[in-house]
Amino acid sequence: MLTYEEAYDENPTISHGEAITEIKKHSCSVSEFYEDCGEKANYKARDLLNWLGY
């Protein structure tokens, strides 16, 4: 797993599965994430962090 700094500064692409795992770890709604960000094969790490409120 990436550190916060790696994920935010380098902004790598993460898989759908990695994104969903992080969303669930934060007890957030996967369906709300899909509404806001779409259901994709990959996401930018920074987009997920921003959505999670970091």
Q: What is the pLDDT along the chain (54 residues), one digit of tens a residue?
A: 678 888 778 889 999 999 999 999 999 999 999 999 999 999 999 999 999 999
- Predicted local distance difference test score (pLDDT) of residue 3: 82
Per DSSP, 41 falls in state S
Residue 8 CA to residue 5 CA, distance in Å, equals: 5
Residue 47 makes CB contacts below 8 A (sequence gap 6+) with: 37
- Predicted local distance difference test score (pLDDT) of residue 18: 95
Q: Write down the pTM of the prediction.
A: 0.84
Question: Residue 23 CB: number of other CB atoms within 10 A?
Answer: 19
- Predicted local distance difference test score (pLDDT) of residue 17: 97
- Predicted local distance difference test score (pLDDT) of residue 46: 92
Range(s) of the domain holding residue 43: 4-52
Tokens of 33: 């994430």
State the total domains in the chain. 1
- Predicted local distance difference test score (pLDDT) of residue 2: 73
